Amino acid sequence: MDTVKMPEEFNQNRRHFFGTAAMTIAAAQLGMIGSAAAQSSKTKSAGLPAVKPGAHTSFASLKQIDAGTLNVGYAEAGPANGPVVILLHGWPYDIHSFVDVAPLLASAGYRVIVPYVRGYGTTRFLSSETIRNGQQSVVAVDAIALMDALKIEKATLGGFDWGARTANIIAALWPERCKAMVSVSGYLIGNQEAGKVPLPPKAELQWWYQYYFATERGRAGYDKYRHDFSKLIWQIASPKWDFDDATFDRTAAAFDNPDHVSIVVHNYRWRLGLAQGEPKYDDLEKRLAEGPVISVPTITLEGDANGAPHADPSSYAKKFSGKYAHRTIKGGIGHNLPQEAPRAFAEAIIDVAEV
**285 lies in some domain:** yes
10 pLDDT more than 70 = no
278 pLDDT more than 80 = yes
Q: 160-181, pLDDT tens digit by residue?
A: 999 999 999 999 999 999 999 9
- How many angstroms separate the CA atoms of 268 and 184, rounded? 19
Higher pLDDT, 34 or 202: 202
Could you tell me the sign of the dihedral formed by the alpha carbons of 219, 221, 223, 226, in that order?
A: negative
- How many angstroms separate the CA atoms of 349 and 14, rounded? 30
Q: Please report, for residues 195, 247, 249, 340, the alpha-carbon distance to residue 243 in angstroms, rounded to integers and kept in the order given.
A: 32, 6, 10, 9
The answer to whether residues 230 and 119 touch, using CB atoms and an 8 Å cutoff, is: no
**240 lies in some domain:** yes
- 3-state SS of the chain: helix, strand, coil percent to 5? 45, 15, 40
Q: 124-168, pLDDT tens digit by residue?
A: 999 999 999 999 999 999 999 999 999 999 999 999 999 999 999
**1 lies in some domain:** no
pLDDT of residue 2: 57
pLDDT of residue 36: 44
Percent of the residues in the chain that have a pLDDT greater than 70, as a whole number: 88
**198 lies in some domain:** yes
Q: Please report, for residues 166, 241, 282, 289, the alpha-carbon distance to residue 286 in angstroms, rounded to integers and kept in the order given.
A: 16, 38, 6, 5
The CATH number of whichever domain residue 222 belongs to comes to 3.40.50.1820
**64 lies in some domain:** yes
Q: How many CA atoms lie within 13 A of 341 on its CB side?
A: 26
pLDDT of residue 29: 46
Question: Structural domain of residue 76, as residue ranges?
Answer: 7-353
- What average pLDDT does the segment 299-307 reach? 98
- How many angstroms separate the CA atoms of 307 and 233, rounded? 9
* Amino acid (1-letter code) at residue 213: F
Q: Total domain count for the chain? A: 1
pLDDT of residue 229: 98
15 pLDDT more than 70 = no
pLDDT of residue 239: 98
**2 lies in some domain:** no
Residue 87: its H or E element:
strand 84-88
Q: What count of other Cβ atoms lies within 10 Å of the Cβ of residue 38?
A: 12
**3-class state of residue 106 by DSSP:** helix
**In terms of DSSP bridges, do strands 178-184 and 155-159 run parallel, antiparallel, or are they unpaired?**
parallel
The answer to whether residues 101 and 87 touch, using CB atoms and an 8 Å cutoff, is: yes
pLDDT of residue 207: 95
Q: 21-48, pLDDT tens digit by residue?
A: 444 444 444 444 544 444 444 567 888 9
pLDDT of residue 196: 86
Q: 203-256, pLDDT tens digit by residue?
A: 999 999 999 999 999 999 999 999 999 999 999 999 999 999 999 999 999 999
pLDDT of residue 231: 98
18 pLDDT more than 80 = no
The answer to whether residues 222 and 347 touch, using CB atoms and an 8 Å cutoff, is: no
**3-class state of residue 161 by DSSP:** coil
Global pTM value: 0.90
Q: What is the 8-class DSSP label of residue 294?
A: B
**75 lies in some domain:** yes
Q: What is the 8-class DSSP label of residue 186?
A: S
pLDDT of residue 109: 97
- How many angstroms separate the CA atoms of 76 and 326, rounded? 28
Of the candidates 338, 130, 255, the residue with the CA atom closest to the CA atom of residue 347? 338
